Amino acid sequence: MNKYLDVSKEAAEAIAANKPVVALESTIISHGMPYPQNVETALKVEQVIRENGAVPATIAIIGGRLKAGLTREEIEHLGKTGYDVPKVSRRDLPVIIARGMDGATTVTTTMIIAAMAGIKVFATGGVGGVHRGAETTMDISADLEELAQTPVMVICAGAKSILDLGLTLEYLETKGVPVIGYQTEELPAFYTRKSGFCVDYRLDTPEELAQAFYVKQEMGLAGGMLVTNPIPEAFSMDPAVINKAIDAAIEESKQKGIHGKETTPFLLAKVKEITGGDSLDSNIQLVLNNARLAAQTASALCKCAQ
């Protein structure tokens, strides 16, 4: 066990007993939504995971400790502190830990800490990817590199549609990361169910997802697996509306010189503003949908190992 890591008693006991545990990120709490919706959503996601037979383990950094499994008070703290909590990726971990600071974990750092704790399934909203214009800016999310090296299944609603989805898929192919569509052959684009791009494989049950990931691990293949789970039809946004909002947000970010890890929070907040809050409602629903599938898949994965 990593000496900087604290695993909650509930999660540790479940892992030791080969019972299902689902990791959850904390950037969505501090940077993804306003208070109190961020805390309400985080607690609701944990509840959905429990209702589907698994133990939730929300991951963050609290006082310089890597935490796999937060208390309600710690979730409330992250929600109220919001943007004042640093958004922590792989490169930030040594300094944040050495300084004894708090940190909200991205997809990348959630994967790292989940793997340290022995958690194999992680539910999130959307993953990062290759940003539009990356051929000149080289702005590529660390999430893609982490998927290539860390053995965690990430269940999401696709890559955020603020990205270049075609280049993101090409990058993942180069890194040997399987991109699976859950009950779909088309890559979902976060707020919408369709993107015009195809996934590598379609699988239709949590058991199929679990078996594929189990075999990958048994073969000794490095890295994780990306499962893309489309937002429920009832909450899917009109692609024309959301794409227009994204284009406007990207143009404003360029004008303001926003780049690096500040890009995604700015774009998501701007899209929410342009869509009158519709994008936030969609965001909440897709996270709950992913949590449900993650819990079911984690349960099936435990059975593979019996």
pLDDT, one tens digit per residue, over 227-281 is 999 999 998 888 777 778 777 877 888 788 877 667 767 777 777 777 666 677 8
The torsion angle over the Cα atoms of residues 238, 243, 245 and 248, rounded to 10 degrees, is: -160
Residue of 104, 93, 80 whose CA lies nearest to 26: 104
CA distances from 199 to 13, 135, 219 (A): 36, 22, 22
pLDDT at 74 > cutoff 80 = yes
pLDDT at 239: 78
- Condensed to tens digits (0 to 9), the pLDDT of residues 151-185 reads 999 999 998 777 889 999 999 999 999 999 999 99
Token readout for 166 is 């075609």
pLDDT at 282: 84
Q: How many CB atoms lie within 10 A of CB 287?
A: 27
> Which residues are CB-contacts of 251 (< 8 A; sequence separation ≥ 6)?
none
Q: What is the mean pLDDT of residues 83-96?
A: 96
pLDDT at 306: 76
User: What is the C-alpha separation between 200 and 162, in angstroms, rounded?
Assistant: 21
Tell me which residues are annotated as active site. 25, 160
Residue 196: is it exposed, middle or buried by C-beta count within 10 angstroms (0-12/13-18/19+)? exposed
pLDDT at 84 > cutoff 80 = yes
The torsion angle over the Cα atoms of residues 126, 128, 129 and 131, rounded to 10 degrees, is: 110
- Condensed to tens digits (0 to 9), the pLDDT of residues 260-274 reads 667 767 777 777 777
pLDDT at 1: 60
Domains of the chain: 5-304 (3.40.1790.10)
User: What is the C-alpha separation between 10 and 240, in angstroms, rounded?
Assistant: 44
pLDDT at 113 > cutoff 90 = yes
pTM, two decimals, is 0.91
